[in-house]
Amino acid sequence: MKIDIRKVSKAFGYFPALDAVDVTVPSGELVALLGPSGSGKTTLLRVIAGLETPETGHVIFGETDVTDHPVRTRNVGFVFQHYALFQHMTVAQNIAFGLRVRKASRAETAERVAELVSLMQLDGLERRLPSELSGGQRQRVALARALAPNPKVLLLDEPFGALDARVRQDLRRWLRRLHNDIHVTTVFVTHDQEEAFEVADRVVILNNGRVEQSGAPDDIFDHPANAFVMDFVGNVNVLDGMIDHRGSHFCGLTFKDTYKADIPVVAKAYIRSGDIEYCRSHDDSQSTKGIITYARRVGPVVRTLFSPKDSSDAASMEVELSLDDWRSKNLKVGAEVNAKVKRVRIFPERGEYDNISF
Amino acid sequence: MNMERTAQMTAAKITVCQRTHRNPLPGFKLSLGYCLAYLGLLVLIPLSTIVFETAAMEWRDFIAVVTAPRAVAAYGLSFLGALLAATINCIFGLMLAWVLVRYNFFAKKLIDAIIDLPFAVPTAVAGIALTAVWGPNGPLGEPLGRAGILVAYARLGVLVAMVFVGLPFVVRTVQPVLEGLSVDVEEAAATLGAGRVRTFFKVILPHLAPALFTGFALSFARALGEYGSIVFISGNMPHRTEIVPLLIMTKLEQFDYRGATALALVMLLASFTVLFIVNSVQWKTKHRSVSFANVLRVRSFLKG
């Protein structure tokens, strides 16, 4: 079932949570709504479910305008961040709830419950109460309960937000596999960009109640539409500087063969922490001398801070490199090195320039 | 030598045990002892005198006193009135708690404070106020009287006073539980297609049931023991509007201490029985979902 959201606006008091949002979720796809807190992503999800009423705009499921349909007739499966399981019911009773509401026969209900229990790997837990389950198991019960009445649309609100990193990782992959199996149109909300990029077919990036960009994960990562998306997606160094007739200048870095302006323009350079490379020799203008001020190994990568020498202010840049790289180049904290920028994105005060690779 | 080692090992074991069982707050034995002594002095010893005093009676006299028609009528009024009042309080107390937890409105804090007034007002004051309102000349009593409904100086008046004094108990026990029930759960029921009635009876009410039972028991006990406000509004007609505490009082005024304690003993046993039943029902609701019967129910349900 395709979901069309057309010009939906919603305000809480004077706070505009959604501002003329247009989103299309193609049938059978898994779409992530990604954004910082307060960006309106949860409100949008609740509008799709019918738990919030938009002030203007339309929500269309397939060909049907469901804007005025109440929640219970929309046939959506909704998974809440804090599970919202019925505490006094067992796992099996929780899963069966939606079926009993629909007056399914006992045999039918039992069959569907058994099917979901095995699909969600909850075997042997049917008679437990929610309070007797772990966080990951509770979330799977919530998912089973939402899926039991065969919803047209599955909506998940920060489904893995309350779980620890390891369980989150497992459930994430498992959700992806599950979606490959059952193909129900799914929208999930997250503030974790890694989660969105790992799981979703399409990512919609929201900020201040507006859609900043939507598209395939690779597309968003490689071609961010604007400074916000660039900053939000991935670890980015933002450097203040300017563009003049010789090129653009940022904290001791000069990019000669890029953009030139007859009248100097204030600009910001966005450089991902993985797009900077350390080298021993000073080869061209895209590199700058400086000192490694901090280094911390996190698993297979080393996160470092680099302080450019020529920089007038005490700006430092985050640089991330592989452990192998770190070792083979014999780097250490306090070492004087050159940092070479491999890729930069420059956003002048007004307008913008596209990706520049070197 | 060998024995010495065993003794040493036992000593070591004991220290290990003590270490693992060390509580952050010490003094279980002291505090338990204190609690029991306190309970004994304040509750058990005074109440036991009722039993001893009554035990001095002849069995025949005892039966004659406790089965006198006037006493039986008083039991009926006291117990049925208290049960009915507790039931009414459960329904309206739940509604009040719901409104106070779920909605924000002008003067909510004030209304929240007003609920505790029946706790705080001296019962005689409450009795006078209720009689003034529901009496034959009162603003509510007069129109009702014209319609043929007598409140004050009738059984209905006893019920009104019992409802009045028991109201805060239900509200104050249900309120915190309701605050802990997130709106998520209701929304989850709605997304699964459940209507309001089903959501209330299948999702919200089971969650509130233990608190409601506690509120019921407290409200019942309070109504049963209430004296001050009821004597003002009931008219105290023997066989009709006389409650047990008043009958006991009458006997005391006639220096019939034995008769008074005999009635008191009946009250004590009956209220203990009712509270015991309510508590066991509450215990069952709390543990229902893991009880064996329920396991069987779920199993048969799953098998279809």
CA distance readout (Å), A169 to A105, A226, B98? 37, 29, 40
Q: Does B302 touch chain A (CB under 8 A)?
A: yes
pLDDT tens track of chain A, all 358 residues? Answer: 899 999 999 998 888 899 999 999 999 999 999 999 889 999 999 999 999 999 999 999 999 999 999 999 999 999 998 889 999 899 999 999 999 999 889 999 999 999 999 988 899 999 999 999 998 899 999 999 999 999 999 999 998 877 788 888 888 888 888 888 888 999 999 988 888 998 999 999 999 999 999 999 999 988 888 888 988 887 888 888 888 877 777 777 777 766 777 778 888 888 888 888 888 776 666 678 888 888 999 888 999 998 887 665 557 888 999 998 888 888 888 888 888 888 888 887 765 555 555 5
Residue A246 sits in the same domain as residue A284: yes
Return residues 254-283 of B near A (CB < 8 Å).
none
**How many other CB atoms are there within 10 angstroms of residue B108's CB atom?**
12
Of the two residues B19 and A35, the one the predictor is more confident about is A35
B101 to chain A, minimum CA–CA distance in Å?
18
| pLDDT band per the 50, 70, 90 thresholds, residue B9 | low
A vs B: CB pairs below 8 A: 89
The DSSP string of B23-65 is -SS--HHHHHHHHHHHHIIIIIHHHHHHHHHHHTS-HHHHHHH
User: DSSP letter at B180?
Assistant: H
Residue A172 sits in the same domain as residue A252: no
Task: Judge contact between A300 and A341, C-beta under 8 A.
Answer: no
Q: Does B298 touch chain A (CB under 8 A)?
A: yes
Cβ A92–B301 below 8 Å, yes or no?
A: yes
In whole angstroms, give the CA distance from residue B47 to residue B280. Answer: 23
**How many other CB atoms are there within 10 angstroms of residue A212's CB atom?**
21
* ipTM of the shown complex: 0.81
Question: Looking at the DSSP assignment, which residues form a beta bridge with residue A345?
Answer: A270
Q: Which of A74, A76, A90, A109 to mutate to test the interface with B (most CBs of B within 10 A)?
A: A90
In whole angstroms, give the CA distance from residue A154 to residue A181. Answer: 14
Token pair of B268, please?
A: 């004590």
Return residues 203-242 of B near A (CB < 8 Å).
203, 206-207
* Confidence at residue A332, expressed as pLDDT on a 0 to 100 scale: 85
Residue A85 sits in the same domain as residue A141: yes
Average pLDDT over residues B235-248: 89
Max CA separation in chain A (angstroms):
78
Cβ A84–B182 below 8 Å, yes or no?
A: yes
In whole angstroms, give the CA distance from residue B267 to residue B225. Answer: 9
A122 to chain B, minimum CA–CA distance in Å?
14
Task: Judge contact between B209 and A87, C-beta under 8 A.
Answer: no
B204 to chain A, minimum CA–CA distance in Å?
9
Cβ A145–B198 below 8 Å, yes or no?
A: no
Q: Does A87 touch chain B (CB under 8 A)?
A: yes
Q: Does A101 touch chain B (CB under 8 A)?
A: yes
Question: Looking at the DSSP assignment, which residues form a beta bridge with residue A291?
Answer: A307, A336
Residue A186 sits in the same domain as residue A257: no
B23 to chain A, minimum CA–CA distance in Å?
25
Query: What is the domain count for chain A?
Result: 2
Residue A286 sits in the same domain as residue A344: yes
| Residue-number span of the structural domain to which A105 is assigned | 3-229
With H, G, I as helix, E, B as strand and everything else as coil, classify residue B166. Answer: helix
Token pair of A29, please?
A: 């796809």
Cβ B302–A78 below 8 Å, yes or no?
A: no
Q: Which long-range contacts (CB under 8 A, 24 or more apart) does B21-28 make?
A: none
Residue A177 sits in the same domain as residue A256: no
């203990």: which residue's tokens? B272
Cβ A86–B184 below 8 Å, yes or no?
A: no
Contacts of B295 (CB under 8 A, 6+ apart): A127
Cβ contacts of B299 on chain A, cutoff 8 Å: 127
Cβ A80–B207 below 8 Å, yes or no?
A: no
Core vs surface per residue A232-247: b (16+ CB within 10 A) or e: bbbebbebebebeeeb
Q: Does A317 touch chain B (CB under 8 A)?
A: no
With H, G, I as helix, E, B as strand and everything else as coil, classify residue B189. Answer: helix
Residue of A nearest to B298 (CA): A127
A89 to chain B, minimum CA–CA distance in Å?
7
Cβ contacts of A87 on chain B, cutoff 8 Å: 207
In whole angstroms, give the CA distance from residue A190 to residue A196. Answer: 7
For the stretch B74-104, pLDDT in tens is: 999 999 999 999 999 999 999 999 999 989 9
In whole angstroms, give the CA distance from residue B223 to residue B242. Answer: 14
Residue A347 sits in the same domain as residue A201: no
Q: Which of A83, A101, A145 to mutate to test the interface with B (most CBs of B within 10 A)?
A: A101
For the stretch A333-355, pLDDT in tens is: 888 888 888 888 888 776 555 55
- Mean pLDDT, rounded, of chain B: 85
Q: Does A251 touch chain B (CB under 8 A)?
A: no
* Confidence at residue B19, expressed as pLDDT on a 0 to 100 scale: 55
* Confidence at residue B119, expressed as pLDDT on a 0 to 100 scale: 86
CA distance readout (Å), B101 to A275, A320, B96, B177, B222? 53, 51, 9, 10, 25
Q: Does B184 touch chain A (CB under 8 A)?
A: yes
In whole angstroms, give the CA distance from residue B110 to residue B102. Answer: 16
Q: Terminal CA-to-CA distance of chain B, rounded, Å?
A: 68
For the stretch B144-202, pLDDT in tens is: 988 888 888 889 999 999 999 999 999 999 999 999 888 899 999 999 999 999 999 99
Cβ B190–A110 below 8 Å, yes or no?
A: no
* Confidence at residue A46, expressed as pLDDT on a 0 to 100 scale: 95
Token pair of B18, please?
A: 């003590």
Task: Judge contact between A204 and A21, C-beta under 8 A.
Answer: no
Q: Is A13 left (phi over 0), alpha (psi -120 to 50) or beta?
A: left
Residue B251: how many CA atoms within 13 Å on its side-chain side?
Answer: 21
Residue B5 has pLDDT above 80, yes or no: no
Q: Which of B192, B201, B213, B289 to mutate to test the interface with A (most CBs of A within 10 A)?
A: B192
Cβ contacts of A149 on chain B, cutoff 8 Å: 192-193
Residue A31 sits in the same domain as residue A104: yes
Residue B269 has pLDDT above 80, yes or no: yes
Last residue in a domain, options A229, A260, A291: A229
With H, G, I as helix, E, B as strand and everything else as coil, classify residue B81. Answer: helix
Q: How many residues does chain A have?
A: 358
B213 to chain A, minimum CA–CA distance in Å?
16
Residue B293 has pLDDT above 50, yes or no: no
Q: Does B292 touch chain A (CB under 8 A)?
A: no
Q: Does B303 touch chain A (CB under 8 A)?
A: yes
Residue of A nearest to B198 (CA): A101
Q: Does B296 touch chain A (CB under 8 A)?
A: no
Write out the H or E segment, with its range, that includes residue B70: helix B69-102
Token pair of A202, please?
A: 């399409």
Cβ contacts of A158 on chain B, cutoff 8 Å: none
Residue A325 sits in the same domain as residue A247: yes
CATH at residue A346: 2.40.50.100
In whole angstroms, give the CA distance from residue A84 to residue A142. Answer: 7
Last residue in a domain, options A209, A229, A249: A229
Token pair of B8, please?
A: 């040493």
Cβ B188–A80 below 8 Å, yes or no?
A: yes
Residue of A nearest to B199 (CA): A101
Token pair of A312, please?
A: 């007038």
Q: Which of A127, A129, A145, A150 to mutate to test the interface with B (most CBs of B within 10 A)?
A: A127
A83 to chain B, minimum CA–CA distance in Å?
8
Residue A211 sits in the same domain as residue A253: no
Facing B185 at nearest CB: one of A74, A86, A96: A86
B180 to chain A, minimum CA–CA distance in Å?
12
Q: How many residues does chain B have?
A: 304
CA distance readout (Å), A70 to A50, A115, A148, A149? 6, 29, 20, 17
Facing B194 at nearest CB: one of A88, A101, A111: A101
Residue A99: how many CA atoms within 13 Å on its side-chain side?
Answer: 23
Query: What type of residue sits at position A263?
Result: I
Residue A209 sits in the same domain as residue A255: no
Query: What type of residue sits at position A152?
Result: K
Last residue in a domain, options A229, A249, A269: A229
B134 to chain A, minimum CA–CA distance in Å?
43
Residue A90 sits in the same domain as residue A198: yes
CATH at residue A49: 3.40.50.300
